[in-house]
Structure 1
Amino acid sequence: MRLAVAKEIEVGERRVALVPDTVARLVKQGIEVLVEAGAGESAFFTNTDYETAGAKIINDTDTLWQEADILLKVGIPKEREDGRLEIDLLREGAVIVSFLNPLGEPAIAQRLAQKQITALSMEMIPRTTRAQSMDALSSQASIAGYKAVLIAAAALPKYFPMLTTAAGTIAPAKVFIMGAGVAGLQAIATARRLGAVVEAFDIRPAVKEEVQSLGAKFVEVQLNEDTVADGGYAKEVSEAAKQRTQEVVAEHIKQSDVVITTAQVPGKKAPLLVTEDMVVNMKPGSVIVDLAAEQGGNCACTEPGKDVQRNGVTIIGPINLPSSMPVHASQLYSKNLSSLVQLLIKDGNLDINFADDIVSAACITHAGEIRNQRVKEALATLSSATAG
């Protein structure tokens, strides 16, 4: 059984799928691990580190992909500089495990199925107790929430904590976190550690206790509809609910020094939470960090990958924040992947067991078919839009 670790080719991607410590544990289990030369360099793991862990370094990309029984990646397979798609380097019957964004880019799933490749998407890991160690969305979101607060603190022309000095007392910054999922909760905790006064909002009332346990005030909005999707994620709500939400949070945004938005709906455009009028009403010098920038942004003024100014307010739309902390991001992702791999290998052989709820949920393509109904629906929608 050969596990192969690919070098990421996406611009700005610094993470690696497996770190040397994880490789060493897998090798001890009798699994052969191939690592593409330089795969870990951007995360400060050298080829020598991998060789010491027992991996075999492969210098030729084509060889690595073609010899893999299970190919492990971080980012979505892309087009190479030579014009070929990474997917096309895999041999028929191979397995790929990676972030694949199958609901946002279902054409990738279609291509994988056509190539007879079994694909497991890390976005589709179920949110169950048993699957917690494999939940890469959560491990990476936690990093994003942490880093978002540091970015905001660096951009804010004020202190975060209250300070009492001989020159007087400095009031603490007011931080408003929108969305109390993993990223939001980590943002709350980080902002509190820096000394800010923190408020948080989420359409899911069940997270109130978690918010309060971290020392933040929970902003409640009464919505007369279901707001929780399968797996505990927030679901897309009606236009009336969105309008009600905006009315309630507008005043909290106006009074805040920092707003961090984290609301995302899998496979959908990010919900608009901060309108241009809300930005206009914020205090000059205030900062917005929009963690949903890659999905269109929670703020109307967000430009993905850019810092923009509107009426003295700085709106930051970071892309791929976990990659900015590649050492720990890779360590956590590596643990997620290795936990999942244990379910795919039995007695040294590949065993795709669809009776296992985690494997069944994560596997989006197998034996030439798209297995996941939501991915099928996303592909049908895409096809209809293309035909129209």
Structure 2
Amino acid sequence: MIVGVLRETAVDERRVALIPDDVRGLASVDVIVERDAGRSIGFSDADYRASGARIAERAEVFARSDIVVWVKPPAYPLDSVRPGTALIGFQEPLHRSDVIAGLRTRGIESIGYETVAHSRPDIDALSAMSRIAGEVAYAQGRQLCSAHGAMRALILGCGQAGLAAITAAVAHGDEPTAIGNRPDQESLAIQHGAKTFLPNPVGLLAHLAAEPPDLIVCAAVHRGNRGPLLLDGAALDILRPGTVIVDLVAKSGGNCVATIPDRDVTLPNGVIVTHRSNYPTLRPLEASVAYSAATAALLKTYSITEKQW
């Protein structure tokens, strides 16, 4: 089995799908790494050679590999991918469904981390990235807030990103309230430091009026699905000027009606809505280590003939 590792080309992307230490651990796998794939986080081509990988140009990576791994989909067409290849990484199925279908007609399978079950934590790269995103997004949103000192935070969603945002809020000395869609999420939210838990978003408007937050982190989405709209026009009208909304799920439809992907938007009432596609890349080494561990674990159990792990 030959595995190819691409140099990332998405805007501002600094991660790499496999780090040298994990290449070294793939004893029965031949690895080809695109030139300069790890340079942005301090891994040279010499580091990869020392781990047992070959360095090649992109064309050779695609020509020789049975499996190609990436973090985010390449910013160029995949016309050169040969039939029989498996592409492993984040696939963005809501936005790339036509591309994925077209590749499948050519005999090319797209294996997305968006479809990995929580029951497989060893290969659950999405949860690992979500935890980093929740922490980073909270800190980024807090910097935009006009409030000072301890802040009142509202976390929408109690998945991995939401729980990480709760933990980050506590670390900053803030008072987080969490909203989930299931009562059984309450214990997790409280364990991570939530002061209050609301088990149903139906009470959101009343909560916004009674306890106006300084910072809202939107992280409510089920993997592979569109995110529910939780902050509509009526909710935004309640918020005070200077309130910051960080929408982590804009690429899945967004939890806020005013979210524009990769933009900061200031509404007429002074509310700031922000989104970035790639919060984990702000911690590129930490994120690459976690992502690479999941990729290596998947490759060790992957069946080329069945195109599944």
| TM-score over 0.5 for the pair | yes
- The amino acid of 2:152's aligned partner reads K
Cα displacement (A) at 1:220: 2.5
- The amino acid of 2:126's aligned partner reads L
Cα displacement (A) at 1:282: 1.9
- Report the CA distance shift for 1:118/1:292 in structure 2 as closer, same or farther (over 3 A): closer
In the alignment, which residue of structure 2 is the partner of 1:352?
Answer: 306
- The amino acid of 2:175's aligned partner reads V
- Please list the CA deviations of residues 142-177 of structure 1 after superposition, one character each: whole Å capped at 9, or x if unmatched: 0110001110221123334xxxxxxxxxxx211111
Give the SS at the match of 2:25: helix
Deviates more, 1:205-214 or 1:288-297: 288-297
Query: Which of 148, 160, 183 in structure 2 is aligned with 1:159?
Result: 148
- Report the CA distance shift for 1:309/1:123 in structure 2 as closer, same or farther (over 3 A): same
In the alignment, which residue of structure 2 is the partner of 1:119?
Answer: 110
Distance 2:221 2:9 in 1: 25
- Structure 1 segment 287-366 matched on structure 2, within 5 A: 287-310=244-267, 311-344=269-302, 350=304, 352=306, 359=309
Distance 2:96 2:144 in 1: 33
1:67 lines up with 2:58 in the alignment: no
Give the SS at the match of 1:198: strand
- The amino acid of 1:329's aligned partner reads A
1:219 lines up with 2:205 in the alignment: no
1:50 lines up with 2:48 in the alignment: yes
Deviates more, 1:30-39 or 1:270-279: 270-279
Cα displacement (A) at 1:263: 1.3
Give the SS at the match of 1:142: helix
Distance 1:123 1:104 in 2: 13
Distance 2:176 2:8 in 1: 37
Query: Which of 136, 144, 155 in structure 2 is aligned with 1:147?
Result: 136
Distance 1:343 1:352 in 2: 11
Distance 1:221 1:340 in 2: 35
Cα displacement (A) at 1:343: 0.8
In the alignment, which residue of structure 2 is the partner of 1:175?
Answer: 153
Cα displacement (A) at 1:181: 0.4
Contact 2:217–2:247 (Cα < 8 Å) also in 1? yes
In the alignment, which residue of structure 1 is the partner of 2:218?
Answer: 261
Cα displacement (A) at 1:278: 2.5
In the alignment, which residue of structure 2 is the partner of 1:235?
Answer: none
Contact 1:77–1:100 (Cα < 8 Å) also in 2? no
- The amino acid of 1:9's aligned partner reads T
In the alignment, which residue of structure 2 is the partner of 1:185?
Answer: 163
Structure 2, unpaired ranges of 5+: none
In the alignment, which residue of structure 2 is the partner of 1:236?
Answer: none
Query: Which of 122, 134, 156 in structure 2 is aligned with 1:133?
Result: 122
In the alignment, which residue of structure 2 is the partner of 1:94?
Answer: 85
Structure 1, unpaired ranges of 5+: 161-171, 223-241, 360-388
Structure 1 or 2, whichever has the larger Rg, is 1
Give the SS at the match of 1:49: helix
Q: Across the two proteins, how many residue pairs are aligned to each other?
A: 308
1:283 lines up with 2:240 in the alignment: yes
Give the SS at the match of 1:89: coil
Distance 2:34 2:256 in 1: 39
- The amino acid of 1:111's aligned partner reads G
Contact 2:182–2:199 (Cα < 8 Å) also in 1? no
Give the SS at the match of 1:96: strand
Cα displacement (A) at 1:323: 2.0
Give the SS at the match of 1:4: strand
Contact 1:103–1:266 (Cα < 8 Å) also in 2? no
- Report the CA distance shift for 1:136/1:193 in structure 2 as closer, same or farther (over 3 A): same
Compute the TM-score of the two structures, normalised by the length of structure 1: 0.74
Distance 1:90 1:185 in 2: 38
In the alignment, which residue of structure 2 is the partner of 1:163?
Answer: none
Distance 1:268 1:89 in 2: 30
- The amino acid of 1:316's aligned partner reads T
- The amino acid of 1:74's aligned partner reads V
Contact 1:15–1:43 (Cα < 8 Å) also in 2? yes
- The amino acid of 1:100's aligned partner reads Q
- Please list the CA deviations of residues 183-221 of structure 1 after superposition, one character each: whole Å capped at 9, or x if unmatched: 000000011011001110011211100011122133324
Give the SS at the match of 2:21: helix
Distance 1:111 1:77 in 2: 15
Distance 2:16 2:51 in 1: 15
Contact 1:296–1:304 (Cα < 8 Å) also in 2? no
- Report the CA distance shift for 1:221/1:120 in structure 2 as closer, same or farther (over 3 A): closer
- Please list the CA deviations of residues 6-58 of structure 1 after superposition, one character each: whole Å capped at 9, or x if unmatched: 112222222111011111212xx132211000111223322122122221110
Contact 2:190–2:197 (Cα < 8 Å) also in 1? no
- Please list the CA deviations of residues 77-135 of structure 1 after superposition, one character each: whole Å capped at 9, or x if unmatched: 44x2xxxx22x22222222211113354322232222111233221111221xx11100
In the alignment, which residue of structure 1 is the partner of 2:228?
Answer: 271
1:208 lines up with 2:186 in the alignment: yes
